[in-house]
A and B are shown apart, each in its own frame.
Chain A
């Protein structure tokens, strides 16, 4: 949430001292995961401990963001710090790419290899003979044994297509906001940035609606064989990323309203804008591979 250095920036590489936020963050994460584990194990206090953890996490984010923003506005960051921020962002993105590569890889492996093998394709004829259940591979499937019972998929032209249009539109609005920031048009920047995060939250809301539809009308659940167990993690983790992106855009919007950033110094804006484009592209891949190809 920082921004790049100016001529008045510090000569020294700024290192914060005595920050309470790392330990607060650790305690918050421990409490959150502990609460979730207790809940899953039917411990009565589980949901309360989870709520406490999430509350602590929120306090940590607000506090830590505030500190970094004040440091940035106080011109404590020089060029070396800026370089560190950009390298940090790059490695963070690399980890995100690997994260989604794992999920897309699982989907493609199941579709292209393991499901056809179970049906005896290629050199796996004996697999089919030994299994003896006459399983005919086709995608979408919940595999041999019809795990999770009969199900139907969510039609591509329903909510998925609407959500694709919403995210594409938000990609256009963030780009207009980016151009406006560089041109020094603050009014346009504020309007289009607000539109971007509002579209993001709308996407998340519609995604939740889609899940309710899947569970209630399509019998499509996380437990619906290989299709359910690839569909939900992929779309849910993407939805989680959209939520994080929309929250970060909201923070950036408030900063823009306060007059932060200049046409050439806006690292935080650039980082969040790029992240937003990234989640948009992941969704495009998801829309194509999950619903079409």
Chain B
């Protein structure tokens, strides 16, 4: 479950980054859409890091060890 949440969050980050690229090519700096998509991308990334730490704290995932 935690893994799925993490992967879903990563996918949403990639999609928001892709959306920013589309606006970068199409809007030519004239709209707020690109910077808005990038703001969502950054917010989701911070959320993902927090989610990762929470999942570890709750014992749902463990980092690789050897």
Chain A positions near chain B (C-beta within 8 angstroms): 4, 82-83, 86-87, 89-90, 93, 139-141, 151-153, 155-157, 164-165, 168, 171-172, 175, 178-179, 182, 264-267, 270-271, 273-274, 277-278, 280-281, 284-285, 288, 290-293
Beyond A90-B25, A293-B7, A293-B61, list 6 extra A-B contacts (CB 8 Å).
A86-B25, A182-B35, A267-B29, A270-B29, A274-B24, A290-B64
From A157, A264, A288, B30 is in contact (CB under 8 Å) with A264
Interface residues in B1-59 (C-beta closer than 8 Å to A): 3, 6-7, 10, 13-14, 17, 20-21, 24-25, 28-30, 32, 34-35, 38-39, 41-42, 45-46, 48-49, 52
**Given that A86-B25, A87-B25, A277-B41 are contacting pairs, would A164 and B49 also be in contact in the complex, using a CB cutoff of 8 Å?**
yes
Inter-subunit contact A288/B24 (CB<8 Å): no
8 A-B pairs in the complex with CB atoms less than 8 angstroms apart? A86-B25, A90-B25, A156-B63, A171-B42, A270-B24, A274-B34, A281-B14, A290-B64
Q: How far is the CB of B25 from chain A (nearest CB, A)?
A: 5
Chain B positions near chain A (C-beta within 8 angstroms): 3, 6-7, 10, 13-14, 17, 20-21, 24-25, 28-30, 32, 34-35, 38-39, 41-42, 45-46, 48-49, 52, 61, 63-66
**Given that A82-B28, A291-B64, A293-B3 are contacting pairs, would A273 and B38 also be in contact in the complex, using a CB cutoff of 8 Å?**
yes
> A-side binding surface: helix, strand, loop or mixed?
helix
Most-contacted residue by chain A among B21, B24, B29, B66 (CB, 10 A): B29
B residues in contact with A267, CB < 8 Å: 28-29
Inter-subunit contact A285/B10 (CB<8 Å): yes
Most-contacted residue by chain B among A83, A278, A280, A292 (CB, 10 A): A292
Q: How far is the CB of A108 from chain B (nearest CB, A)?
A: 12
